[in-house]
Amino acid sequence: MERLKTVGLDFYKCLKYSSIISGILVVVVGVSSFVISRGNLMAALENMKAILFAAGSIGLIMGAVSILRKDRENEKDWLEWKKRFKIFSYRVAISIMSIIILLYGCIIDELLFMLNH
């Protein structure tokens, strides 16, 4: 039961960090594209969706490459990482955060779909 609670806490941290990253990306890209497109909300939403999909995809690629790497014993910052996440390795945390960022992009995509139909 204690291990399940620790996994939940690690997942909550991944959710929190990916929400902060997604929020920063959405605000910066949304405001700049809203200004550049001269007030076109649809263009701003499309750009927010695109940047979230790109960031999530790049994160998943990074997670996959780090999983495929063979030199797992030579990791230098393992003890520093274990201070933040008790059970998740950085490979798992990056993958989970990337999936959550992609889900935020899917939410914006669904919003765009409902606005267009």
The pLDDT of 16-37, averaged and rounded, is 94
User: Considering the entire predicted model, what is its pTM?
Assistant: 0.87
How many domains is the chain built from?
A: 1
Q: What is the domain range of residue 61? A: 2-68+75-116
Reported as a single tens digit per residue, the pLDDT across 80-100 is: 777 788 888 888 889 999 999
pLDDT band per the 50, 70, 90 thresholds, residue 66: confident
Return the amino acid letter for 89. S
pLDDT band per the 50, 70, 90 thresholds, residue 109: very high
pLDDT band per the 50, 70, 90 thresholds, residue 77: low
